[in-house]
Amino acid sequence: MEEIVIILVALSAVLGTLIGHILARTQASNYQLNHLNAIYGSQPRKPDVVAIIDKSTRTWGIFWWRKGHRPDLISAQLARTYLRGVDFHRALLSNADLTDAMLSECNLSGCDMADARLINANLIAADLSEANLSEASLMNAYLSRANLSYAHLFNARLENAHLVHTNLSNANLGRADLRNANLANANLSDANLYAADLTGANLCGANLTGAYLTSTRLSKANLSGIANLRSAADLTGADLTGANLSGANLSEAYLSSTNLSGANLSGVVDLTGADLTGADLSGTDLTGARLVGADLSGANLSEANLSGADLSHANLYGTRLAEAKMANATLSGASLTGADLGGANLTGANLSEATLLHANLKSADLTGANLTNTWLVNADLTEANLNGANLRGNNLSGSDLSHANLAYADLTDTWLVNANLTGAIVTDAQLSQVHTRAGAIMPGGSIPPVEPNGKP
């Protein structure tokens, strides 16, 4: 008859003998005795743990040990045990099986739980600060409101884990598997997430201040409304494909070579001063985003939606913006030298005082755009639509404007030295306002003569 097996830990041989009597009276099974030996060894010694196991209902246990001793529960079989609120401080639980265990509100601070199995375990509000959980299995574990600050979770498996409002500050999550984990409102400040996999994870409202996210996979993750992903957060080489970053604050973040293709960065995302050199933002939704002073040199923004975005004074040297939607975007003072804007929609955009040397604007739509005092030297504007654009003081020297539409454009004080306007739609009245067009090829193919004062 299996009723209750009591394993008592004591300080004397007398209590050890008493344990033997209790085990005999309750007809303990060989499995249970082997389990006892597995924890404490087959040789008699002073055990320092008390366990109560009730198999008549559901396995559960209560543990305690002598003060000042580090409990040795290495490889312990504790699956489905009820251990709520137990003090396991600094216990040795490496390779222990705690599958489906009830560990809520437990003190597991400083524990060695490397390679432990905590699948489906309930660790709600547990203290795991400074615990070693490297290589541990925490799939589907409940860790909401738990304290994992300074915990070691290197290469840990946390797929589908519940980490809502969890404290992971300064935790080491390098190469951890957090796919589809729920980290809503979690504190990940100063956490190490190097090469961690957060594909499909929910990070809505999480705090990633100072987090190290180099090479982190965040594909299709939800980072909307994320708090404080700034202060030089490092996302170098991270994978944010299709991620939801709407409303996120990424100012001054390092996003060099980051993959943000198809990501949602709408809702006035703050990327002020961010480093996005070489980043892949193709097809990304950046509607209304703030990219003031951001470094996007060499980045891929082809087919991205930048409507209403603020890119003033941004570095877009050699940036790919082909077919990008940039209606009403602000690019004043921006550097777009060598940028590819072929087929881009720049209707109503503000490009005043921007630099577009050798830029490709072939077939771009610049209807009503502000290009005052802009440098478009040697730019390709073939078949571009500049209807009603403001080109006052613009320098288009050496640019190709063949078959461009300049109807109603303001060309006052524009420089057209050696420009090509073959087949362009432009009136003589407009050309009369030009500052100089020496060597320019006119719409009809003629080259205006140069007057003695140097002005054609």
435: exposed, middle or buried (C-beta count within 10 Å: 0-12, 13-18, 19+)?
A: middle
CATH number for region 70-197: 2.160.20.80
Q: Is the pTM of this model over 0.85?
A: no
Residue 428: CB atoms within 10 Å = 8
Does 447 score more than 80 pLDDT?
no
Task: Please tell me which residue, 20 or 216, carries the higher pLDDT value.
Answer: 216
What pLDDT digit, counting tens, does each position of 387-425 carry?
999 999 999 999 999 999 999 999 999 999 999 999 999
Residues of the chain with CATH 2.160.20.80: 70-197
Q: How far apart are CA 70 and CA 48, in angstroms?
A: 9
**What pLDDT was estimated at residue 337?**
97
**What pLDDT was estimated at residue 405?**
96
Q: How far apart are CA 355 and CA 395, in angstroms?
A: 10
C-beta separation of 425 from 407 below 8 A: yes
207, β-bridge pairs: 187, 227
- At 449, is the pLDDT very low, low, confident or very high (cuts 50, 70, 90)? low
Q: What's the first-to-final CA gap in the chain, in angstroms?
A: 113
**What pLDDT was estimated at residue 44?**
35
Residue 333: CB atoms within 10 Å = 18
